[in-house]
Amino acid sequence: MLKHAFTWTFALLFVVGLAGQSAAAISADEAARLGKDLTPLGAERAGNADGSIPAWDGGITKVPSGYKKGMHHPDPFSGDKVKLTITADNMAQYTDKLTAGQQAMLKAYPDYKLNIYPTQRSASAPQRIYDDTRAAATKAELAAGGYGVLGVSSGIPFPVPKSGIEVIWNHMLRWRGPGVDRSFGLAPMTRGGDYTMVEFNEKALFLYNQEGMTEAELDNVTALFRQEIFAPARLAGRILLVHETLDQNKENRRAWLYNPGQRRVRRAPNVAFDNPKEGGDGLTTSDTVDMYNGSPERYDWKLVGKKEMYVPYNSYQLHSDQLKYKDILTPLHLNPEHLRYELHRVWVVEANLKEGSRHVYKRRTFYIDEDTWSILAMDQYDNRDQLWRVSESHCINYYEVPTFWSTVEVHYDLQSGRYIAVNLNNEHSMYDFDTKIDRQLFTPAALRRGGKR
């Protein structure tokens, strides 16, 4: 067996330049570690030296007693107690485990805090995804420039990553179920705590990771999204359709927008990069949906290393339908009483804007969960190189699937004192991962037929 290749502390990794060439898949010997000293998705199976991070034992493999599909998910860790509370007063003791964004939030808002709970490595996925990851590991290659992935149609493509761009593609292609029909709210908060909730319904088919999918059948499309706004009245009836692509050298994402005022469907090439998110009141960008999405072409991606950090995790309390939005959405930040943080190992990736490229964020730092490849936190810097926005993805294991995915994403604007909370579902019906969605729904013609005034 190969000598252990990961580090548990910040370690600089030298990355081979990828411009104009593809990166080779890993060796059979490296792939053989999956399911042994590495988990089936590539994380370190073992715990850390002092036991504060336990070994991964499969995560949640069965639903809790009393759970039925359609329910908001009961907390399997409801008996856990807070181990530590980090505030501005004691944060100096823990800065090595805090993101720059967390430190800035603690300094900016005296009532902000991080409640740290015992670490529960709850992440799990179907056996098929583990098998597909093992198969993908020796086949997956980066397309020219790192702008796509070749040779695979399911599974984590780079479970033993060698570069920052590989980690980002793992995030974008991670398992989120075969598809979903979900309704949720988006709250763009004023500094004083006021907001007008934007109501969405989103239907998605994740073609990449579908059972039996082939690269030819994908036809370069990884996912289909259809998102309709129902409120407020000034935005109601707008429908966004997106086809996400796999090799973006061939074609960037395709997007269309139905405008009820014009009753027309138009191509929407601006649904990308730093253009404002639909309904987001200018508080976040298109490429921060799901923490990061779309073409990686505007940044140089550096794999900094792996580090133990306090990150949002197992956010079942925040997910609960016993909470109302007024309990969660407080001025300046989410109510910290309902937030759960745990110590986990994360991959740290730094994105620096390429010479000659344009984006409102000059630099971004991503913190990616080793167990799931989900981006859990992100720091975003403006063109003066000042920390501007701080983002967190509060996730749970949707154990009926199973898949580990966000229940709330939040983006804080440190300069304005405003923030936006996305995917709020406490007062909405729970996501339907069993939905049977006709692929024909995701066509411009269907968008035109479904549009209404």
pTM of the model: 0.94
Structure tokens at 93: 């003791």
What are the tens digits of pLDDT across the range 11-20? 434 333 343 3
pLDDT for 24 equals 56
Q: What is the average per-residue pLDDT within 27-49?
A: 97
pLDDT for 12 equals 39
pLDDT at 29 over 60: yes
Q: What is the average per-residue pLDDT within 151-168?
A: 98
pLDDT for 23 equals 54
